[in-house]
Amino acid sequence: MTAGPRSTEWFARARAVLPGGVNSPVRAYGAVGGTPLVLESAHGAEIVDVDGNIYLDFVGSWGPLILGHAEPRVIAAIEEAARRGTSYGAPCKAEIELGEAVVGAYPGIEQVRFVSSGTEATMSAVRLARGATGRKIIVKFAGCYHGHVDSLLVAAGSGLVTFGHPSSRGVPEDFVALTRVLPLDDEHALETLFAGEGADIAAVIIEPVPANNGLLLQRREFLARLRALCDQHGALLIFDEVISGFRVGRAGAAGHYDLVPDLVTFGKVIGGGMPVGAFAGRRELMKELSPEGGVYQAGTLSGNPVAMAAGLTTLEILEREDGWTRLEELGAYLEQRLKPVLAASPASATLGRLGSIFWIAWHAETLPRAADAIDARAGETYAGIFHALLAREIALAPSAYEVGFLSLAHERAHVDRLAAALEAALTATTAEAQG
Ligand code: PMP
């Protein structure tokens, strides 16, 4: 399946004025080849390209759209808020209400500050951790992505794995000299690092549900050991819940694993499809932020009333309609339908899933738990499958390392369509490879 004539024409125009034709790298199809679809609109579980083709979508704008595209009540809230002004640069009711909702939902946090992206959230949380502890070292894990923060662009996942760069040009060595990178799923490596540098570690940042380098679900014991070591050495634990927050449940991964971090970062779902990020923690830590404390942090559009309205409405609907339970049920159904199809394929694969997040692990019988455990052939196998699915009007993310998302707009019939198309795609691409 290649993009239609209008997508092709628009993407040629895009390439002239936008680097790579995109505003975020993985959208460019670099990992799967071909020309990206240029979209015109999206509703519920479907996206529509400029040629008028309709696709069943499992990308969900990379996670925010937990209710589906253009959910009418979210759109109504956005319209209503916009009519009262798109930005004030002053306190507004919606940011206070969303703040109360976030603080009330997540364990161990008392205050939250809103920003405009996940990257801003992690960048600010790291600064706060350093300011509050007076220490310098930040620890992250190989394969975890925390946005394009200079000091965290070390062995990151997401687009960086896709394009095979371990890090980014433009980040001087000196900027990452205080960042330590550890493998996931490895208590011994953790213990060794803490034994050597524990007194200098300001914070350890982790995606408790690593979902940017495939879905590398961690053992609870590993996360609990990390929590204990941070406590023992006076380091702060930051859960980056930009993907998992308000998606794997009301209390995110903290609730799922029953482990409470010192700081947490949010994005995606809390913005209901508008540009929102946030970081939160105990009052005693959050008061270190300006204007109360000496850790500077600010934003012209932070707490934007239109974005806050979208987030608030999204969380209210999830609560009212028992969203997380329904998503878990649909996720379980997806697992039940896809697993046998994958197991029967020549590229024997399996499915990783937590709630409404899923990932196909190619050439794997058991799910990998660390970045280097993923079979390097995954990318090659995936490109063919991706295009064969697109030809059947199903859109998965354009990279083997990206997860898929279900929303409340998805139904069992959509999952059935995915299972049937995947089976057909696997047969077609295998026949091609042999022929
Ligand atoms: N942290 C995690 C875990 C993410 O998945 C992402 C984005 N995918 C970010 C941070 C960065 O968020 P944003 O793209 O909104 O800057």
Q: Which atom of ligand 1 is nearest to the CA of 119?
A: 16
Number of domains comprising the chain: 2
Three-class SS of residue 405? strand
Looking at residue 97, its amino acid is E
Q: Which atom of ligand 1 is nearest to the CA of 244?
A: 3
- Is-contact 148 170, C-beta < 8 A? no
Tokens of 330: 């649909």
Task: Please compute the mean of the pLDDT values over residues 187-198 and round it to a whole number.
Answer: 96
CATH number at residue 397: 3.90.1150.10
User: Can you tell me which residue has the tokens 């996931």?
Assistant: 184
Q: Which domain holds residue 26?
A: 5-70+322-434
What is the value of pTM for the model shown? 0.97
Given 320, 336, 356, the domain boundary residue is 320
- 192 with 125, same domain: the answer is yes
Q: Which atom of ligand 1 is nearest to the CA of 24?
A: 14
The mean predicted confidence, pLDDT, of the chain is 95
With 80 as the cut, is the pLDDT of residue 315 above it? yes
User: Can you tell me which residue has the tokens 């990379």?
Assistant: 62
**Whole-number pLDDT of residue 287:** 98
- 399 with 337, same domain: the answer is yes
pLDDT in tens, 350-392: 999 999 999 999 999 899 999 989 998 998 999 999 999 999 9
* Best residue among 146, 151, 153 to mutate for probing ligand 1, ranked by most atoms within 8 Å of CB: 146
Task: Please compute the mean of the pLDDT values over residues 77-86 and round it to a whole number.
Answer: 98
Tokens of 314: 């999204």
- 250 with 389, same domain: the answer is no
Given 294, 320, 346, the domain boundary residue is 320
- 267 with 402, same domain: the answer is no
With 80 as the cut, is the pLDDT of residue 167 above it? no
For 240, phi then psi, to 5°, come to -90, 100
**Whole-number pLDDT of residue 291:** 98
- 370 with 239, same domain: the answer is no
Q: In what order do the strands lie in the sheet with 404-405?
A: 350-354, 357-361, 404-405
With 80 as the cut, is the pLDDT of residue 158 above it? no
| CA–CA–CA angle 105, 298, 87 (5° rounding) | 80
**Whole-number pLDDT of residue 2:** 77
pLDDT tier for residue 157 given thresholds of 50, 70 and 90: low
Q: Does ligand 1 have an atom closer than 6 angstroms to the CB of 207?
A: yes
Question: Is 106 known to be catalytic?
Answer: no
Q: Does ligand 1 have an atom closer than 6 angstroms to the CB of 140?
A: no
- 372 with 419, same domain: the answer is yes
Given 320, 345, 369, the domain boundary residue is 320
pLDDT in tens, 88-136: 999 999 999 999 999 999 999 999 999 999 999 999 999 999 999 999 9
Q: What proportions of the chain, in percent to the nearest 5, are helix, strand and coil?
A: 45, 15, 40
- 276 with 341, same domain: the answer is no
* Best residue among 151, 242, 279, 359 to mutate for probing ligand 1, ranked by most atoms within 8 Å of CB: 242
Question: Is 339 known to be catalytic?
Answer: no
* Best residue among 119, 162, 265 to mutate for probing ligand 1, ranked by most atoms within 8 Å of CB: 119
Peptide bond into 172 cis (omega under 30): no
Q: Does ligand 1 have an atom closer than 6 angstroms to the CB of 218?
A: no
pLDDT in tens, 7-57: 999 999 999 999 999 999 999 999 999 999 999 999 999 999 999 999 999
CATH number at residue 228: 3.40.640.10
- 419 with 282, same domain: the answer is no
Active-site pick, 145, 257, 382, 401: 145
